[in-house]
Amino acid sequence: MLNLSQLGLLAFPLLGILIPLVIWTLNRTKIKDVNTIGKSILNFQISWTLSLFTFNIIIAIGALLIMQNLRDAILSILFITVGLYLMNVIMIIKNIIRYNNTNTVNYKPSINFLA
């Protein structure tokens, strides 16, 4: 359930952090492995969300300055956003399958915000 909760990001990017955070906080001492898996998921989702916002800002500013074309800037942002969303959803599905087979997850790349 913790792995699936990340799909909230499809509605709004921060939900990919908030929903797993609530589930992790409520269950981290009650269920085996939830603490480690929750930290891994939260580190990945925080890293992904920061990347999404950072890349979109950089692309928008760069596209407007270099291309001086709003249409190209919007297309660039759309392309990066779709690519990052696809990467995230693929990573979630891959780790759901991995967890069902081995009871482990591997959310990489991510920055360790929660140790």
Query: pTM for this one?
Result: 0.85
pLDDT of amino acid 49: 92
Does residue 109 belong to any structural domain of this protein? no
Q: Specify the number of domains making up the chain.
A: 1
CA–CA separation, 23 and 19 (whole Å): 6
Residue 114 inside a domain? The answer is: no
Inside any domain, residue 92: yes
In a domain, 112, yes or no: no
Let me know if residue 113 belongs to a domain.
no
In a domain, 47, yes or no: yes
Q: Find the domain containing 42 and state its range.
A: 4-102
Roughly how many angstroms between the first and final C-alpha of the chain, as a whole number? 22
How far is Cα of residue 64 from the mean position of the Cα atoms in its chain? 27
pLDDT tens across the length of the chain (115 residues): 888 888 998 898 889 999 999 999 998 888 888 888 999 999 999 999 999 999 888 877 877 777 666 777 788 788 888 999 999 999 999 999 999 999 889 988 888 888 7
